[in-house]
């Protein structure tokens, strides 16, 4: 992978300007995109996440962007996870980086909590839990990690029924697949009805 000479020198000499531009750094975006594409096609990206993505650790942690840090950390933590998990977290970070370049961060984040019922990622996560548990798979990890990603958006919404169904599904994390599927079906049906 071709390195950005300016970026390398700025890192070497601890130049702070790079931190401000980490969200628009083409090497960073390309690295995230590579992880997303390769993991989506079923390739384990553990080594790449640890080595290549790790190159940007100082720049990300040095930035003042809390959401960027969180998404970056989630992707780094997925190094030991499944390929599907790596793809999902790379996709989230990639979308955030693209969204940031449109300068629409504030409006998007306020909309996401109001529109959590129509959020495609949220619906897909609930569907994955439902399908997996109906097949008899224990979806505990997925419920805790993936479903947990939407906690803030759900609790920030003014929708009592949604909060209740979401909480019921989260509470099934330690239960049997049968119990998990019953709660997932309820939430999934509600989202499609809404």
Query: Is the separation of the CB atoms in 180 and 167 below 8 Å?
Result: no
Domain range list for the chain: 5-103, 112-189
Residue (of 49, 52, 44, 42) closest to 76 by Cα position: 49
In order along its 194 residues, the chain shows pLDDT tens digits of: 555 555 555 555 554 444 457 888 889 999 999 999 999 889 999 999 999 998 999 999 888 888 999 999 999 999 988 999 999 999 999 999 988 665 443 434 444 445 788 888 899 999 999 999 999 999 998 898 889 888 888 888 888 999 999 999 999 988 999 999 999 999 999 998 85
Cα distances (angstroms) measured from residue 146 to each of 20, 100, 161: 29, 23, 20
- DSSP 3-state percent helix, strand, coil across the chain (nearest 5): 80, 0, 20
Query: Is the separation of the CB atoms in 53 and 35 below 8 Å?
Result: yes
**N- to C-terminal Cα separation, the chain:** 46
């Amino acid at each position: 992978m071709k390195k950005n000479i300016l970026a390398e020198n700025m890192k070497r000499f601890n130049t702070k300007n790079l931190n401000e531009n980490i969200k628009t750094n083409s090497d960073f975006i390309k690295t995230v995109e590579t992880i997303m594409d390769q993991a989506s096609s079923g390739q384990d990206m553990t080594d790449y996440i640890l080595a290549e993505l790790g190159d940007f650790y100082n720049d990300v942690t040095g930035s003042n962007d809390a959401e960027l840090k969180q998404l970056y950390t989630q992707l780094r933590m997925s190094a030991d996870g499944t390929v599907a998990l790596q793809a999902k977290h790379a996709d989230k970070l990639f979308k955030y980086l693209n969204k940031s370049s449109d300068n629409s961060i504030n409006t998007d984040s306020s909309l996401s909590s109001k529109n959590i019922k129509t959020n495609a990622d949220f619906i897909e996560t609930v569907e994955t839990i439902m399908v997996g548990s109906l097949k008899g798979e224990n979806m505990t990890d997925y419920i805790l990690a993936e479903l947990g990603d939407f906690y803030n958006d759900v609790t920030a919404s003014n929708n009592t029924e949604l909060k209740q169904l979401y909480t019921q599904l989260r509470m099934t994390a330690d239960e049997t697949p049968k119990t998990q599927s019953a709660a997932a079906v309820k939430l999934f049906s509600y989202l499609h009805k809404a």
